[in-house]
Structure 1
């Protein structure tokens, strides 16, 4: 396996650089951008109240004071595969990324966790071992946060949870996105031709970004198409007025939740924005194994320590 390890750092900064989490970041940026703009205050107030949901997870630090004092913070970003394409069940967190933001260094580190990572759920031992994305299914954001803190040995100060419906509504509100297909494929009734440009709205954009099994690059190919969708959408999101209608804010609020309150969002938007100028993307490397009839990604102790220290370094904490 030496070749795989030699390619590890290259793959981290290539294939995973624009992982699915950017649509989660998009929602956050929309809310923060509107807050800092100081417009539509009443709508923002209502939207943030609907989005806010406290978790009973164990927090290792006083997160509120960290933002007040402009200290590095961590946010667990969770994406569920529900809320669109007819999916209304609770689902699992197909996307789990720890985002550490250091305003002094003006640096953000995003560490992706394999959704099939083998873990023991502290609050649900009867269902263990389990895949880490099942933590949300059994115990919601509380279990997700507790499990991540246990295995990565890093404090989780806040979380942001968004489902596919949030992405769909954002695309529709922006008036669609324009992409050029990197390959020819058909998916759920839609057909795309390599090299052809398409202007897509919510449902079709989700189809374009979701197909995996017919892509010769598998999940990496899917990430590339998601990157195309998100890049187009992010360009439009720079104009915050696109997303100011009260109906949009209310609809997006129903697709997301966070334990960041309104004043904390404003603090982030005012004092942490430059941390987005230097974004480092990374991911925890596992090895595929079948255990008890299930396919897991088994992460070694050394890999967990390595990944933990990357996050801890950006948070200004001592090495694990």
Structure 2
């Protein structure tokens, strides 16, 4: 073989790994593009549910100016005996100027005026009476604040998320057991079925609904932590589809991108608070009575974040 032929042969062999690398990069690019498109279509076509009680033109201006946002988080337990009622109510406030995040939990048994019904009842019944719109109006009236966005999650969807991830780990603060599982104190790894038992238990917790709400937050954090450490990107599509089936929000895809971009560092400084009250039986029904002082305290906490 001549020198020229050897050089041509060498060049051909050099091109092969470059072609392989090029095909790999192209494949990754196509996959990333398909995931992006899937996420965009899922959010805009399946998850996006505008509500009359929130003027999104105002909220979009807030995002553009990177102003503080109040987001109502609604957990709907579609498999429980309280189907159609909000199982969890939380106000998530994002303050990007000083990178702060605040999560305030409202006890679901809190007695307040249900806006649109004109009666006093448990705050979680607002969803059964009038869906997301009535819940937003009731929470805004209860705390005298403005809600910018809402995110509604079917709590049963948590099971699908954990099932996709395999397991999540939480730090269990009390030792207890049910007819099927034992939950030891300390860090525990849980599969999907264990997670649902963990998040739904209330009677064996000395803190009652307060403890249950805390465990809901622990599970959400566990899902986030495990999701961030997924070794295979092939699970991303499945996760997106699970969200599309179990989540609704008045955010569109562009809103989400701007929030993730301009507010992502708020997670560096997280404060949590559970509204306090006193249990009381009225007419044979259990309520959580939250004092005016406690309401004003939480109102002030949220308003301080908006300054």
Taking structure 1 as the reference length, what is the TM-score of the superposition?
0.76
Counterpart CA distance in 1 for 2:66 and 2:203 is: 44
8 Å contact kept, 1:60–1:156? no
Tell me the CA shift for residue 152 of structure 1: 0.7
1:5-53 CA-to-partner distances (Å, cap 9, x unmatched) read xxxxxxxxxxxxxxxxxxxxxxxxxxxxxxxx97711110122121110
Unaligned segments of structure 1, at least 5 residues: 1-36
1:111 alignment counterpart: 104
Matched length? 274
Q: CA deviation at 1:204?
A: 2.2
Choose the corresponding residue for 2:89, options 96, 108, 119: 96
Contact 2:164 2:238 in 1 (8 A): no
Name which of structure 1's ranges 62-71 and 223-232 shifts more when overlaid on structure 2. 223-232
- Cα separation, partners in 2 of 1:145 and 1:167, compared to 1, 3 Å: same
Conserved in 1, the CA contact under 8 Å of 2:143 and 2:298? yes
User: TM-score, with normalisation over the residues of structure 2?
Assistant: 0.79
Are positions 1:235 and 2:225 aligned together? yes
1:279 equivalenced with 2:270 (yes/no): yes
Contact kept, 8 Å, 1:116 with 1:132, in 2: the verdict is yes
CA contact (8 A) 1:80 1:95 kept: yes
The structure where helix makes up a greater share of residues is: 2
Give unmatched runs, 5+ long, in structure 2.
1-31
1:139 equivalent among 118, 130, 142 = 130
Question: Quick check: which has more Rg, 1 or 2?
Answer: 2
Instruction: Work out whether 1:122 is the aligned partner of 2:115.
Output: yes
Deviation by residue 1:120-172 (Cα, 9 ceiling, x = unmatched): 212112xx211100001110110011011112111100000101222111111
Aligned residue for 1:159, secondary structure, equals strand
Report the CA distance shift for 1:172/1:69 in structure 2 as closer, same or farther (over 3 A). Answer: same
Alpha-carbon shift at residue 197 of structure 1 (Å): 7.3
Compare relative contact order (CA 8 Å, sep 6+) and give the higher one, 1 or 2.
1
Whether the 8 Å CA contact 1:108–1:278 is kept in 2: the answer is yes
Q: 1:42 aligns with which of 37, 40, 46?
A: 37
Backbone CA RMSD of aligned residues: 2.7
